[in-house]
């Protein structure tokens, strides 16, 4: 037992079953829908366990985001048990049981295909990444194919015990994130695990086991082979999970950020110009605060801040300088988005509002007349204004402009009209950088 708590020793999977009397998971804290699914599977003669983040978070006294169920029932068998069940997934069939807006995901135990085993045909890409992954297995197989030991704990509805195949409980108690198996191989199979490591460090306040951390510094380039759409999803989890500042710092520390936002990273490396870094830190701190207060945030705004530095650099180039302002902005946006989409895809529904937030920055310069008044009714005015505030906070020379627009919004209708019509000759000292 004692060497299991020594976090510096490589992980030796030790199996243990922790009875109900020796752990803190209470059924009162589990979603009634998840319990219903677990009981029905169990009563039908199947093994039924809660697994993954749900078990981990309950043991840590946190509120789980979702409850995932693992079972030895095949997807078709699960479907026969639940009317409200849909089978999804191409790569691996999963059952989704729908209860209004709550979905309980039920996965059949599956095995990690051993990439070194020539007997089983495993589809790997040139970098060792697993492309297909659909062999059913035992609960132990299922545990060992999971990413971190603390994510491989099973809460068994049969007797409310916790099954631990990978010393996850010891790591949970020690605050350690440890990949199951050979860390380098596990990162190569699925580079997104590097981002998950960062996310769980920030979310749980855990540290990485030394052997889990070591390869991380060398393998960031593998992210270049990960599907950009999947990276986008993972980025949202990193930056919209309430710990964006810390995730950003960790991504930079492990040398991962440059493979996600190469152009932004180049701006950050420019030691003479610290505005992009200030802008990002302010934006992430704002995001974290808004999440803590339950206020909404949008990926469009996050991307607008992440790519603002590269946009300014592009606009400095002579080709863009030679174009009229509006055209330069459009062309630079096109180029930037095309480039970024090769790394982390930005869906159009976010790309469009992001461009609008940028394009509207120019309109703050006009502080008089009906157009200025109409601008305040623009559906994206609030986001554009928040972005202006952020730029001011990051040290761009727009502080006076931001103050003025803050003041105007606080006026009543007639005072506002007065302010807008008498301000025709404001000095244009705060030239908006989006144009040049
Ligand atoms: P949270 O839902 O709080 O973000 P989670 O651990 O539940 O954390 P999910 O993405 O919901 O994360 O995944 C559920 C479980 O599936 C994980 O706990 C882990 O056991 C397994 N898993 C998820 N992604 C991977 C992966 N890339 N490689 C191996 N196992 C994974
Ligand atoms: Mg989860």
- Distance in angstroms (rounded) separating the CA atoms of residues 48 and 253: 40
- Any ligand 1 atom below 6 A from CB of 53: yes
Q: Which residue has the higher pLDDT, 89 or 70?
A: 70
Instruction: Examine the domain organization and report whether 203 and 156 are in the same domain.
Output: yes
Nearest C-alpha neighbor of 132 from the set 90, 94, 95, 181: 90
Instruction: Examine the domain organization and report whether 264 and 165 are in the same domain.
Output: no
Q: In angstroms, what is the span from residue 67 Cα to ligand 2's centroid?
A: 7
Across the beta sheet with 85-88, what order do the strands follow? Answer: 16-18, 161-164, 153-156, 48-51, 68-71, 102-108, 94-99, 85-88
> For residue 275, how many other CB atoms are within 10 A of its CB?
17
Ligand closest to CA 92: 1
pLDDT at residue 273 greater than cutoff 80: no
Instruction: Examine the domain organization and report whether 187 and 330 are in the same domain.
Output: no
- Any ligand 1 atom below 6 A from CB of 147: yes
pLDDT at residue 316 greater than cutoff 60: yes
- Any ligand 1 atom below 6 A from CB of 186: no
Instruction: Examine the domain organization and report whether 220 and 234 are in the same domain.
Output: no
Strands 207-208 and 176-177: parallel
Give the pLDDT mean for 275-291: 92
Nearest C-alpha neighbor of 372 from the set 410, 432, 416: 416
Sign of the alpha-carbon dihedral angle for 251, 255, 256, 261: positive
- Distance in angstroms (rounded) separating the CA atoms of residues 387 and 402: 10
Q: What is the pLDDT of residue 3?
A: 41
Instruction: Examine the domain organization and report whether 268 and 212 are in the same domain.
Output: no
Q: What is the pLDDT of residue 5?
A: 45
Of residues 57, 68, 156, 164, which has the active-site annotation? 68
Q: What is the pLDDT of residue 435?
A: 46
- Any ligand 1 atom below 6 A from CB of 38: no
Q: What is the pLDDT of residue 66?
A: 92
- Distance in angstroms (rounded) separating the CA atoms of residues 358 and 363: 10
Ligand closest to CA 91: 1
pLDDT at residue 324 greater than cutoff 50: yes
Query: Which protein residues have a CB closer than 5 Å to ligand 2 (ion)?
Result: 53, 66
Atom 8 of ligand 1, residue of closest alpha carbon:
53
Of 226, 259, 280, the position where a domain reaches its end is 226
Q: What is the pLDDT of residue 133?
A: 56
Number of folded domains that form the chain: 2
With residue 143 as reference, give the H or E element that holds it. Answer: helix 139-144
Instruction: Examine the domain organization and report whether 281 and 221 are in the same domain.
Output: no
Instruction: Examine the domain organization and report whether 180 and 204 are in the same domain.
Output: yes
Instruction: Examine the domain organization and report whether 220 and 237 are in the same domain.
Output: no
Instruction: Examine the domain organization and report whether 198 and 247 are in the same domain.
Output: no
Question: 425: which DSSP letter?
Answer: T
pLDDT at residue 7 greater than cutoff 80: no
Give the pLDDT mean for 172-195: 97
Of 166, 194, 226, the position where a domain reaches its end is 226
Instruction: Examine the domain organization and report whether 280 and 188 are in the same domain.
Output: no
Query: Mean of the per-residue pLDDT values for the chain?
Result: 90
Residue 382 is part of which domain span?
227-436
pTM, rounded to two decimals: 0.88
Of 226, 246, 272, the position where a domain reaches its end is 226
Atom 25 of ligand 1, residue of closest alpha carbon:
147
Q: How sure is the predictor about 114, in pLDDT bands with cuts at 50, 70 and 90?
A: low
Q: How sure is the predictor about 89, in pLDDT bands with cuts at 50, 70 and 90?
A: confident
Nearest C-alpha neighbor of 163 from the set 82, 206, 109, 204: 109
- What CATH number should be reported for the domain holding residue 120? 3.30.460.10
Q: In angstroms, what is the span from residue 38 Cα to ligand 1's centroid?
A: 19
- Distance in angstroms (rounded) separating the CA atoms of residues 220 and 239: 18
Under the phi-then-psi rule, with left for phi > 0, alpha for psi from -120 to 50, and beta for the rest, what region is 373?
A: alpha
> What are the tens digits of pLDDT across the range 358-381?
999 999 998 888 888 899 999 999
Of residues 57, 72, 142, 147, which has the active-site annotation? 147
With residue 95 as reference, give the H or E element that holds it. Answer: strand 94-99
Kindly give, in sequence order, each residue whose CB lies less than 8 Å from that of residue 329, ignoring residues fewer than 6 positions away.
Answer: 315, 358, 359, 434, 435
Kindly give, in sequence order, each residue whose CB lies less than 8 Å from that of residue 321, ignoring residues fewer than 6 positions away.
Answer: 315, 328, 436
68 catalytic per annotation: yes
Instruction: Examine the domain organization and report whether 2 and 18 are in the same domain.
Output: yes
- Distance in angstroms (rounded) separating the CA atoms of residues 386 and 240: 17
Q: How sure is the predictor about 414, in pLDDT bands with cuts at 50, 70 and 90?
A: confident
Instruction: Examine the domain organization and report whether 221 and 231 are in the same domain.
Output: no
Question: 66: which DSSP letter?
Answer: -
Sign of the alpha-carbon dihedral angle for 12, 13, 16, 21: positive
Atom 4 of ligand 1, residue of closest alpha carbon:
53
- Distance in angstroms (rounded) separating the CA atoms of residues 419 and 54: 55
Q: What is the pLDDT of residue 356?
A: 97
The angle formed by the CA atoms of residues 397, 246 and 240, to the nearest 5 degrees, is 85
Nearest C-alpha neighbor of 249 from the set 237, 233, 240, 238: 238
- What CATH number should be reported for the domain holding residue 335? 1.10.3090.10
pLDDT at residue 422 greater than cutoff 90: no
Q: How many CA atoms lie within 13 A of 266 on its CB side?
A: 9
């Amino acid at each position: 037992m004692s060497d299991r708590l020594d976090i510096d020793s490589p992980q030796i999977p030790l199996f243990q079953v922790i009875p109900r009397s020796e752990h803190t998971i209470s059924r009162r804290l589990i979603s009634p829908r998840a319990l219903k699914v677990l009981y029905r599977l169990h009563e039908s003669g199947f093994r039924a366990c809660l697994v993954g983040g749900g078990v981990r978070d309950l043991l840590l006294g946190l509120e789980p985001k979702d409850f995932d169920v693992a079972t030895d029932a095949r997807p078709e068998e699960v479907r026969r048990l639940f009317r409200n069940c849909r089978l999804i997934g191409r790569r691996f069939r999963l059952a989704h049981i729908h209860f209004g807006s709550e979905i309980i995901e039920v996965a059949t135990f599956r095995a990690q295909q051993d990439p070194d085993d020539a007997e089983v045909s495993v589809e790997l890409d040139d970098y060792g990444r697993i492309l297909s992954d659909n062999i059913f297995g035992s609960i132990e197989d299922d545990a060992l194919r999971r990413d971190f030991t603390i994510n491989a704990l099973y809460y068994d509805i049969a007797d409310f015990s916790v099954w631990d195949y990978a010393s996850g409980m010891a790591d949970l108690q020690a605050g350690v994130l440890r990949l199951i198996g050979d860390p380098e191989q596990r990162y190569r199979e699925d580079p997104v695990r590097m981002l998950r490591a960062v996310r769980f460090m920030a979310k749980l306040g855990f540290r990485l086991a030394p052997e889990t951390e070591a390869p991380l510094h060398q393998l960031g380039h593998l992210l270049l082979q990960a599907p950009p759409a999947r990276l986008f999803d993972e980025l949202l989890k990193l930056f919209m999970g309430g710990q964006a500042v810390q995730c950003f710092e960790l991504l930079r520390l492990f040398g991962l950020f440059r493979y996600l936002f190469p152009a932004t990273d180049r701006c950050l490396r420019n030691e003479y110009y610290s505005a992009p870094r200030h802008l990002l830190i302010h934006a992430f701190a704002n995001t974290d605060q808004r999440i803590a207060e339950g206020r909404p945030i949008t990926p469009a705004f996050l991307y607008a801040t992440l790519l603002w530095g590269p946009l300014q650099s592009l606009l400095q180039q002579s080709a863009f300088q030679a174009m009229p302002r509006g055209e330069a902005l459009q062309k630079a946006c096109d180029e930037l988005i095309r480039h970024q989409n090769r790394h982390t895809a930005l869906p159009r529904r976010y790309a469009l509002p992001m461009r609008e937030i940028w394009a509207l920055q120019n309109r703050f310069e006009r502080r008089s007349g009906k157009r200025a008044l109409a601008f305040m009714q623009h559906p994206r005015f609030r986001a554009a204004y928040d972005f202006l505030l952020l730029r001011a906070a990051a040290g761009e020379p727009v502080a006076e402009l931001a103050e003025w627009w803050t003041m105007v919004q606080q006026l009543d209708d007639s005072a506002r009209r007065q302010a807008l019509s008498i301000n025709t000759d404001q000095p244009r000292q705060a030239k908006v950088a989006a144009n040049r």
